[in-house]
Structure 1
Amino acid sequence: MRKLYALFALAGMLLVTGCNTMAGAGKDIERGGEKVQGAAESTKQKM
């Protein structure tokens, strides 16, 4: 029974860590998209 509890605790920790990692990756991708959009806007204004 202890092994089952340990397994569930480990799975829970992995899920929480995974959520934080995905949220961070999403923010990084969003920032990259904003920079590309800004570069496109500045290029469009020059034309």
Structure 2
Amino acid sequence: MTTVKKFALLAVLGTLLGTTLAACNTMEGAGQDVQAGGRAIERGADNVQKKM
């Protein structure tokens, strides 16, 4: 395999790895946002229940 082909293969693999890691971070952030929303709803429900 020539040096140019090795470099091209490494570039492609690096790009795929970077994209995969970025997607994981995005999904983790989305999960944290959903979790924070759930906590806010839970606090609101607790407040309503205390007023009853």
1:10-46 Cα offsets, whole Å, 9 max, x none, are 1000011111111111111111100000000111111
Segments of structure 2 that go 5 or more residues without pairing to the other structure are none
Segments of structure 1 that go 5 or more residues without pairing to the other structure are none
| Structure 2 match to 1:26 | 31
For 2:45, the aligned partner's letter is A
Under a length normalisation based on structure 1, what TM-score does the superposition of the two structures give? Answer: 0.83
Under a length normalisation based on structure 2, what TM-score does the superposition of the two structures give? Answer: 0.77
Q: What is the percentage of aligned positions where both structures have the same residue?
A: 32
* Cα RMSD after superposing both structures: 1.1
Partners of 2:10 and 2:32 lie apart in 1 by: 34
| Structure 1 match to 2:46 | 41
Q: How many residues align?
A: 47
Larger radius of gyration: 2
